[in-house]
Chains A and B, each alone.
Chain A
Amino acid sequence: MKLRRLKVVSILIAGVFGLIARGMADDLSETAWTLERLAALVKVQRESTIFFEETTYSSLVTRPLVTRGVLRFTPPSRLEKEVQEPYRERYVIEDDLVTVESERRNLTQTLSLDGYPGLRGFVETVRAVLNGDVKEVTRDYDWLLEGGKHRWVLRLRPREQSEGMIESIELTGTDGHLQTIMIRFAGGDRSVMTLLPGRLP
């Protein structure tokens, strides 16, 4: 009995201390929620495999187009985007090379990421954030971090507009979890990728 009481007390004490600690941490983070801290947190909490749903809005079509699949990240530089619905296509990006395996286009090829401007902005920003590599982002993009630790928005705009066809990229998340990635293209089209944690295969 004594032992059990002791255990309860200690849990209570720990809980109180935990609450105090968390409160202090929140206070601190609210005052100084920086890109560095965001990146550091994402690096700790990132998941190596995560489902996604991507919706493309284009003026060419009357309703949004949806694809679903899995994102896989192997630090430091391997990122895989596998589309499973409505067709099967796999992009494996390692450093600056992308290997495309496409059933519908009946091809497998490896080429520079430059061949896929639409993919490049996505890969560069997502990979850098997942890696906690702030320099990578700030070198090529103007950025703005809004919100707090529990709900943040990172707005990015490529410095050299002429190079890509991407106008802006917006990442949102909570704590160290990336939630959506929105890419706005030069023609006015945009794609929104929503990450669905917990739905592990």
Chain B
Amino acid sequence: MIVSRWVPLLWTTAMVAGCWYLTETLSVRNDLEGLLPDGATEAQQVLLSQVRQGLSGRLILLAVEGAPAEELARLSRSLAEAIRANGTIGIVANGVDDDQETDRFLIERYRYLLSPAITTETFSVAALRTSLEQRLDDLRSPLGVLIRDLIPTDPTGETWRILQTWSGGNGPMRYRGVWMSPDRSRALLVVAIKGGGFDVDVQESIQTAIRALFDQVVKQSGIQARLHMSGPGVFAVEIQRAIESEAWQLSVVASVLVVGLLYVSYRSFRLVVLSLLPIVTGVVAGVLVVNQWFGFVHGITLGFGITLLGIVDDYPIHLFSHLSGHESAGSVMRTIWPTMRVGMLTTVIGFSALLLSGYQALAQLGILAIVGLVTGAFVTRWVIPACIGPRFIPLAVPRHVASRLDLLSTGQVLAVTVLILASAILIWSDTPMWEQDVTRLSPVPEEKKLFDQQLRRELGAPDVRDLLVVEGSTIEELLEKTEVVAERMEHLRTNDIIKGYDIVSRYVPSRRTQLERQRRLPERTVLERNLAEALNGLPFTPGLFSPFVEAVQRSRLQEPIGPEAFAGTMVGVKVESLLFSQGGRWMTVVLMSGVEDRWRLTEAVEAWKDLSISYVDLKEESNRVMTAYRDRTLQLLGWGIVAIGVVLAVGVRSVAVAVRVLTPVLCALLVVAAILRGVGEPLSLFHVATFLLVVGLGLDYALFLNRPGCEGEERLRTNFGLLVCSGTTIVVFGVLAVSKTPVLHAIGVTAASGALCCLFFSVVMARRKAYVA
């Protein structure tokens, strides 16, 4: 047997080379971007770019708790200083005014172009007189100390007005100069992180850095306090880490159980070790191909893919179960190979549905599974037989176990009852058929979501859900349009359709508007004359307002400013998130809050009859994206089953056998759907994707049972093999089903119950041939 010596050697060489190549080239990415579906429609794309780089994704909300308010205020100041000094994290705001220095600088220079209150009237004698009298009253009011220094340069109060417009009201409550919750139990800070990407690793390193700075600050001050972080980025990191650690723990548990089961079944360490070869090879090959194809492997694909490839284990199990000691492993393999081949082919067809779903994460999963499956089957076909020596004597098949399975073949009554019951549940259950709310798939605990919402309320941070998308071909065109939209928004607000809104024109006026304001600024002589007349009889120090005259004159010659001038400021962060280019066009979003009646809002927006403005309900929209993918996957599942039917019919050269093989699988799907519905789980994309896996498993079972010559001793061996196969599958996915992560749980429950149902229906519907015990 020269071959048997060369094959293991070749395999070892290939594996070593593959592993080496992987360590050199493998790039695992954890950004959510790679995982998110690319929206098909424009509205979907906007939604996704909002999620990926929008303000909400870049904001981390910080809450410092657990100390008296005075000390919290002190900690808030020190923490903000530390974050600012660090320089790599981003922009931080905690209510202290000095963080607005750059904003103030812009206002100081451009207030006559930025202020919405500039009209031709502003600089008339009468209006100036009113302004000056107001400033006099300000001076003798508690406001005096705040605005005293501004009076000589800005007697008409534009600075105040602009700040008021920008903050959109009064902003969060303050205590000792910093933002604090109304009950003063926590100091509030906001960090807008640098960069637009939504990389979980970057997010995590930033969050770790913030935490380290906080610990340092706490240590220096000696005040005991806690730091809470919230926001989409924080959740993303938590989800990722939770899934990772869970996937790790669950796979360790599952592996131990599977190896245990295999050992109990075959009582041979050698077979247990050999059964791992196809899986390991499949994983290495699959990851390699995905990495070459996409340039990276997503962390989550890696985790799920390896779990999916657990089914490769079925191939060596079939082989081991058919070993009798009379024949060499190679010749046993040759007899069962045609069946295994058809099974592999049909499973591959099932998984190709994932490839076509258009959802990158599912596509990666599909390729990983297909390559792994084919490789695993080939390793079982050629490598394992070469590793089992001709003198290997396997454990005799435990007849009492294997034969008992055949008792089920008399269970048609039971099968029919189960099917009727399942149909009844499917028809009459109260559980909605499909999961409509994507947020329910999120593993973030409810109390954390509530805490996040509370922080948002206290901070006045937007909870992005309802928005208008406005388009334009240039920034200027878009800004001019938003100025019109802003008036309409004000109308919506006064009509109580919305409570508030945030629009880019609030921060950056269009060039046209700025130039118009500029034209309203009077010449020096006119201004001086008006001012002198207005000052008549007022007790202001002579010459006090010459800085004002200079500032107005300077503004008359200024070049208008655009959005880029705000870079690096808190307002800039806001502007960036509201205004972005997409495929050569410019887009802006108008965030709306307090939308009570979405139907009225939709009607109001439609009444504008402006095609460049569309209303998007983000929550509805993300549900729609997921629903679209689910429907597509469902459709592919349907076509997949048809294709599998054809391949089957050709492969086994009999339509009757193909029907006999396919029927139990379809029955199993029906029952699994009923089980899920019965336990109150609406179906999501992940359930549907797992149906494919169930189809693959079930076909294998049915194919082996309906193999020509599957009777007598052979039938016993097949039964035993199927028991071990389904046993390992149920163990692996049953462990997954206890996961707290909704996605993992969905896959686990579906696959475990699917394997059980497939086994049951396959045996019940298998050809009944009496065997000799």
Q: Which residues of A contact B (CB under 8 A)?
A: 54, 56, 58-63, 65-67, 83, 86-87, 89, 91, 96, 104-105, 109, 111-112, 114-119, 122, 163, 165-166, 185-187, 189, 191
Query: Residue B177 at the A interface, CB < 8 A?
Result: yes
Given A60-B544, A111-B170, A187-B149; A118-B144 close (CB under 8 Å)? yes
A62 adjacent to B142 (CB under 8 Å): no
B145 adjacent to A117 (CB under 8 Å): yes
B174 adjacent to A114 (CB under 8 Å): yes
A67 adjacent to B143 (CB under 8 Å): no
Query: Residue B708 at the A interface, CB < 8 A?
Result: no
With beta carbons under 8 angstroms apart, the residue of A61, A66, A116 that contacts B142 is A116
B144 adjacent to A56 (CB under 8 Å): yes
B546: shortest Cβ distance to chain A, in Å? 13
- Segment 172-198 of B: residues with Cβ below 8 Å from A: 173-177, 180, 184
With beta carbons under 8 angstroms apart, the residue of B148, B176, B539 that contacts A187 is B148
- Which residues in B have their C-beta under 8 angstroms from that of A186? 145
- Which residues in B have their C-beta under 8 angstroms from that of A87? 137
- Which residues in B have their C-beta under 8 angstroms from that of A86? 137
Give the CA-CA distance A186 to B143 in the complex, in Å: 14
Find the B residue at minimum CB distance from A63: B539
Can you list 15 A-B pairs with a CB-CB distance of less than 8 A?
A58-B144, A60-B540, A60-B544, A61-B136, A61-B541, A83-B141, A91-B142, A96-B175, A96-B184, A115-B170, A118-B141, A118-B142, A122-B142, A187-B149, A189-B144
Give the CA-CA distance A92 to B540 in the complex, in Å: 30
Give the CA-CA distance A119 to B152 in the complex, in Å: 23
Find the B residue at minimum CB distance from A112: B174
A119 adjacent to B177 (CB under 8 Å): no
- Which residues in A have their C-beta under 8 angstroms from that of B148? 58, 60, 185, 187, 189
- Which residues in A have their C-beta under 8 angstroms from that of B141? 67, 83, 89, 118
Give the CA-CA distance A66 to B139 in the complex, in Å: 10
A118 adjacent to B146 (CB under 8 Å): yes
- Which residues in B have their C-beta under 8 angstroms from that of A104? 134, 137
Give the CA-CA distance A114 to B97 in the complex, in Å: 12
* Number of residue pairs spanning A and B whose beta carbons lie under 8 angstroms apart: 85
- Counting contact residues on chain B (CB < 8 A from A), the size range is 20 to 34
B396: shortest Cβ distance to chain A, in Å? 83
- Which residues in A have their C-beta under 8 angstroms from that of B144? 56, 58, 118, 185, 189, 191
Query: Residue B755 at the A interface, CB < 8 A?
Result: no
Complex A-B, nearest 5 residue pairs according to Cβ-Cβ distance, in ascending order = A119-B142, A118-B145, A65-B140, A118-B142, A114-B174
Give the CA-CA distance A117 to B142 in the complex, in Å: 8
B134: shortest Cβ distance to chain A, in Å? 7
- Which residues in B have their C-beta under 8 angstroms from that of A114? 174-177
Query: Residue B151 at the A interface, CB < 8 A?
Result: yes
With beta carbons under 8 angstroms apart, the residue of B137, B173, B184, B544 that contacts A111 is B173
Give the CA-CA distance A114 to B95 in the complex, in Å: 10
B174 adjacent to A67 (CB under 8 Å): no
- Which residues in B have their C-beta under 8 angstroms from that of A109? 170
Give the CA-CA distance A165 to B539 in the complex, in Å: 24
B165: shortest Cβ distance to chain A, in Å? 15
A61 adjacent to B540 (CB under 8 Å): yes
B166: shortest Cβ distance to chain A, in Å? 16
- Segment 103-142 of B: residues with Cβ below 8 Å from A: 134, 136-137, 139-142
- Which residues in B have their C-beta under 8 angstroms from that of A62? 539-541
- Which residues in A have their C-beta under 8 angstroms from that of B143? 116, 118
- Which residues in B have their C-beta under 8 angstroms from that of A185? 144-145, 148
A94: shortest Cβ distance to chain B, in Å? 13
Instruction: Write the B471-504 contact mask toward A (1 if CB under 8 angstroms, else 0).
Output: 0000000000000000000000000000000000
Give the CA-CA distance A61 to B132 in the complex, in Å: 12
Give the CA-CA distance A185 to B145 in the complex, in Å: 7
Give the CA-CA distance A119 to B145 in the complex, in Å: 9
Find the A residue at minimum CB distance from B170: A111
> Which of A91, A118, A189 has the most chain B CB atoms closer than 10 A to its own CB?
A118
- Which residues in A have their C-beta under 8 angstroms from that of B146? 116-118, 165
- Which residues in A have their C-beta under 8 angstroms from that of B145? 117-118, 165-166, 185-187, 189
- Which residues in B have their C-beta under 8 angstroms from that of A118? 141-146
B139 adjacent to A163 (CB under 8 Å): no
With beta carbons under 8 angstroms apart, the residue of A67, A117, A187 that contacts B140 is A67
Given contacts A111-B174, A185-B145, A189-B144, 13 further A-B contacts (CB under 8 A): A54-B140, A59-B541, A61-B539, A62-B540, A63-B539, A96-B184, A114-B174, A118-B143, A163-B176, A165-B146, A187-B149, A189-B148, A191-B144
Give the CA-CA distance A108 to B268 in the complex, in Å: 84
- Which residues in B have their C-beta under 8 angstroms from that of A189? 144-145, 148
Give the CA-CA distance A105 to B541 in the complex, in Å: 24
Give the CA-CA distance A23 to B125 in the complex, in Å: 65
- Which residues in A have their C-beta under 8 angstroms from that of B140? 54, 56, 65-67, 191
A115 adjacent to B539 (CB under 8 Å): no
Give the CA-CA distance A119 to B139 in the complex, in Å: 13
- Which residues in B have their C-beta under 8 angstroms from that of A111? 170, 173-174
- Which residues in B have their C-beta under 8 angstroms from that of A65? 136, 139-140, 539
Give the CA-CA distance A164 to B540 in the complex, in Å: 26
A60 adjacent to B137 (CB under 8 Å): no
A56 adjacent to B139 (CB under 8 Å): yes
